[in-house]
Amino acid sequence: MSDTTVSRRRAMALAGAGVAGIAGAAAVGSAVARQGAGASERLAAGAVSFYGRSQAGIVTPAQDRLHFVAFDVVTKDRNALIRMLKAWTAAAARMTAGHDAGAVGATAGIPEAPPDDTGEAIGLPPSGLTLTVGFGSTLFRDAAGRDRFGIAARKPAALVDLPTFQGDLINPSISGGDIVVQACANDPQVAVHAIRNLARIGMGVVSVRWSQLGFGRTSSTTKDQATPRNLFGFKDGTANLKAEETDLLRQWLWVAAGDGPEWMTGGSYMVTRKIRMLIETWDRTSLGEQEAIIGRTKGEGAALGRDKEFDEPDLAKLGPDGEPAIAKTAHVRLAHPTVNGGARLLRRGYNFVDGSDGLGRLNAGLFFIAYQRDPRSQFIPIQTRLSRNDDMNEYIRHVSSGIFACPPGVTGSDDFWGSGLFA
Amino acid sequence: MRTIRILALLAAGSLGGTLAACGGDDAKSGSAAAGAGGPIAVKATDTSCEVAQNALNAGTHVFAITNSGAKVTEFYVYAAGDRVVGEVENITPGLSRELRVELPAGSYQTACKPGMIGDGIRSGLTVSGSSPALTEDALLAQATSSYTRYITSQTEALVQKTGDFVAAVKAGDVAKAKELFPVARTYYERIEPVAEIFGDLDPKIDGREDGATAELPFTGFHRLEKDLWVSGDVSKSGPIADQLLTDVKEMVTKAKAEKLSPLQLANGAKELLDEVANSKITGEEDRYSHTDLWDFAANVDGSRAAVAALRPALEKRDPDLVKQIDAGFQGVETELGKYRVEDGWKLHNQLTEAQLKGLTDVINALAEPISQIAGAIAQK
């Protein structure tokens, strides 16, 4: 392994743990109170409002489960695409409220017709489902350079192609996409149901390019959520942007008026990276080395040289050996805002295990998702630094990549995803 | 070959009444000239198809077709979407046949098909004037007779081509048998949902090795396919070949007597596309010969024929759905057309994953609206 030139990444560890689902369930909006359910369970089962200035699923308290899907648009018909976005929006509003995807429902239709909902979520509560849509640069101009939908001029400058970072092993077939949907819920079946029904509604207009399931959140997006752990066993998301930090969110998360095209105001840019972890070799690394690589203790999650998880890392502090307590190549240092011009991200990643590979190794890692106001001054410089220097790179491989413009929220039942872009 | 027979279930099911109405006798090859101005002469040769009139008044007309060519021919009258309004087949050289057909006002096409293959030699036919508008029930009833004509034409070609294929196998002519295999199957695949109604006949004719049981051993087209492509030895295949022809003939006899309800047509159109998605795109169907795209095209043809039969009724009930379906068929045709090679198709194992994905996308785009037909037909 020793291959220190390969991937230097940052994202993952940083923070947090928290065995999802217990205290971590946290507030999920209006509760569908079921008799006998405890408060956290009630909240985890409740509905998150679909409508709003910004899309749900970004600062919404991170749910436990993910189904993420990327689509290619297979039509050249702009009106067909708009029709589908409207149909998606209507279905998303219904499903996030705990209803069936179609107006008729899974079992209320005539027996001769296929149901307009697939049925696997019958009886399940809304489960905090959020559906968040993003547009890739290929929607604006496809790989052949064509402006299929007359929107190339509306492409935001911030929606750049990510550079090839040092050590990247990107598989194009599980990267990119014209349109993506992030489905997060506290019940995996609810998330899968949502994506399945959207894919069905989109047939003939979009085609699934790739999709990813995630089973455990690796970040907290609110202060009352416990920090969860990633598959390295470390807390992930301690230093994440949190919903309560409204000033920081304004500065680092939400696209402001004047940042770019008006249709993105109130939106955010999403970067996805599928990061395979080399689990078996990590597991035989000594505790001391693991902690040195991350720059935090494994148990408490405190920055090295500090006591508590949320104690601010002291990057100048020296250890007993006279070397920095947090090494120059430690993940926490390289990802820290102070070495990145203050840049912050709102991370929303999930652990994944896609079974095992042909060598008997766990095919596992982190599906990294980060939201930000401008990737050119946030994700890209941060990842450039990590990819070159992070000691963690020995144990990770970036295998997929994506960057998407997530438009602002849907304001009401007469509005739809991307209405500003297609106005 | 599949397991669930929706058609069969529906055939025995509860959707009788107006939906299953089968009236409207197709009245082909009638002998009496009941049309306004006497029979319309059609002179068919191997290269031409001269129809004496290209403008008619609405009503019942009789076409008198004379084949002076050297090939067996067929004569069709098509309405929009290639819906067969009237059809007379197997007009051998030197023979004259008549076709009686009721034509409401509209635009039609006539076609002779020398050699009984392809789109035929076409001409426009305009029918004007008024004829009483048909009720929806009558339109649905017409769908049944229209589709019955399709079954008749396909089954005759099926028997003929299966006979040629079987003869080649028995003569030990491996090259010729390989050439005829996908051609004969085309006629079977077009009408497979009908064939599947008749119990064990479909598995005997079209079963695959993995589906064989003690009661229904591996026989039929795919057994011969394996002999032809894997061992190349058909010296012992004679009995299997004979049985295939016997089974095909039995199926054809039964199919001709079958009247399908509009709902069965709708489900058949969908099932044919499910066949494409589940076993042709995957290469499961013709795993030894890799001629899956022949079957793919045939399934789509069959689906189109079933939809075309329903089209007049569907246009009244859900014109938007008809538009979606038309666009869907167009999409499939364009995508599939990329893999045309002369009179045939590329082999499945010559296609890349990305090309197969492209085919999957267009089938999905077509199958979703087609899956809505049954509901549109059933809903009052």
**Cβ–Cβ under 8 Å, residues A272 and A367:** yes
Which one of A116, A203, A206, A210 would you mutate to disrupt binding with B, by most B Cβ within 10 Å of its Cβ?
A: A203
pLDDT for res A34: 33
Indicate which of B140, B281, B357 best probes the interface with A, i.e. most A CBs within 10 Å of its own CB.
B357
From chain A, pick out residues whose CB is under 8 angstroms from the CB of B379.
110, 112-113
- Cβ B378–A110 below 8 Å, yes or no? yes
User: Any idea what DSSP says for residue B284?
Assistant: -
The answer to whether B331 contacts A204, with C-beta atoms less than 8 Å apart, is yes
Q: How far is B191 from chain A, CA to nearest CA, in Å? A: 21
Classify residue B321 as exposed, middle or buried by CB count within 10 Å of its CB (0-12, 13-18, 19+). middle
Reported as a single tens digit per residue, the pLDDT across B32-41 is 333 446 889 9
For residue A154, what pLDDT is reported?
98
Rounded Cα gap, residues A294 and A232, in angstroms: 10
Strand duo A362-372 + A346-347: pairing: antiparallel
pLDDT tens-place string over residues B248-270: 999 999 988 888 888 889 999 99
Mention every residue, 6+ apart, whose C-beta is less than 8 A from residue A369: A68, A182, A270, A271, A272, A347, A348, A349, A350
Asked casually if ipTM beats, i.e. exceeds, 0.90, the reply is: no
Report CB contact under 8 Å: B379, A110. Answer: yes
pLDDT of res. A180? 98
Question: Does any CB of chain A come closer than 8 Å to the CB of residue B378?
Answer: yes
Question: What's the predicted TM-score (pTM) here?
Answer: 0.80
Which residues from chain A sit within 8 angstroms of residue B318, using beta carbons? none
Scan residues 201-220 of A and list those with Cβ closer than 8 Å to B. 203-205, 207
Burial level of B313, CB count in 10 A (0-12/13-18/19+)? buried
Does the beta-carbon distance from B368 to A110 stay under 8 Å?
A: no
d(C-alpha A250, C-alpha A346), whole Å: 12
Alpha-carbon gap, residue A170 to A176, rounded angstroms: 10
| pLDDT of res. A41 | 59
pLDDT at B197: 81
Residue A6 is predicted with a pLDDT of 30
The answer to whether A108 faces chain B, any CB pair under 8 Å, is: no
pLDDT band at A15 (very low <50, low <70, confident <90, very high): very low
Q: What is the CA radius of gyration of chain B?
A: 21
β-strands B121-128, B55-57 pairing: parallel
**Regarding beta strands B40-44 and B59-67, do their DSSP bridges make them parallel or antiparallel, or are they unpaired?**
parallel
pLDDT under 50: residue ranges of chain B: 1-36
> Three-class SS of residue A152?
helix
Which residues, 6+ apart, have CB-to-CB distance to A256 below 8 Å? Answer: A250, A265, A373
Phi and psi at residue A168, to the nearest 5°: -60, 135
Please check the confidence at residue A38 and state whether its pLDDT lies above 60: no
Distance CA B216, CA B202 (A): 11
User: What pLDDT, in 10s, does the model give residues A257-279?
Assistant: 999 999 999 999 999 999 999 99
To the nearest whole angstrom, how far is the Cα of A75 from the nearest Cα of chain B? 10
**The token pair that represents B257 in the structure block:** 């007597």
CA dihedral of B1, B3, B6, B7, whole degrees rounded to 10: 40
Residues of chain B with C-beta less than 8 angstroms from the C-beta of A109 = 375
Instruction: Report which of residues A299 and B116 the model is more confident about.
Output: A299
Residue A414 in tokens = 């007469």
What is the overall mean pLDDT for chain A?
90
CB contact under 8 A, B371 and A74: no
Q: Is the Cβ pair B15, A110 closer than 8 Å?
A: no
**pLDDT tens digits, residue range A317-359?**
999 999 999 999 999 999 999 999 999 999 999 999 999 998 9
Q: Is the pLDDT of residue A65 over 50?
A: yes
pLDDT tens digits along A402-417:
999 999 999 999 999 9
Strand partners, B63: B40, B99
At A304 the three-state DSSP class reads: coil
**DSSP for A33-92?**
--TT--HHHHHHHSPPP-BSSS-SSSSSPP-SEEEEEEEEE----HHHHHHHHHHHHHHH
Sorting pLDDT into bands at 50, 70 and 90, what band is A91? Answer: very high
The whole-angstrom separation of Cα A138 and Cα A373 is: 20
CA separation for the pair B121, B49 (Å, rounded): 6
Count contacts between A and B (CB, < 8 Å): 43
Residue of A nearest to B330 (CA): A204
pLDDT at residue A174 tops 80: yes
What percent of chain A shows pLDDT beyond 70? 90
